[in-house]
Amino acid sequence: MVRAMSSYSEESLAKLRVVVDTVGREIAQSAATPALQAAWTELVALLALGTAPETRECPVCHGIGMRAASRCGRCWASLQPLPALSNGAPQRVEP
């Protein structure tokens, strides 16, 4: 049975991203055959995991939520917008 990526939890997708990155580094550092490298590249493209979403910690309950959220998904506290970097890219906030 094949599940759409959207049916996986964000936690599962985060774990999958870590595993994909680890395996990709190992393949890059090994004497992998061109066929293995091509198959890996195709698999990663099919997974289309994208980048991990930006998250931040709620200052009230310390739950982790989406960076752009205006309210905490755990305690519903109002969250202040985060500043953008000087180049316009969003500032990454570590929990």
The full set of domain ranges for the chain reads 9-47, 53-83+91-95
6-31: average pLDDT: 89
| pTM recorded for the entire structure | 0.56
In angstroms, the CA 90 to CA 27 distance is 32
Q: Above 70 in pLDDT, residue 88?
A: no
If you search the block for the tokens 């953008």, which residue do you land on? Answer: 84
The residues near 56 (Cβ < 8 Å, ≥ 6 apart) are 64, 65, 66, 67, 69, 79, 82, 93, 95
pLDDT at 4: 63
* Angle ∠(65,47,43) on CA atoms, nearest 5: 145
What is the per-residue pLDDT across 41-75, written as a single tens digit (0 to 9) for each?
999 999 988 888 888 999 999 999 988 899 999 99
Q: Above 50 in pLDDT, residue 33?
A: yes
Note whether 17 and 52 are within 8 A (CB).
yes
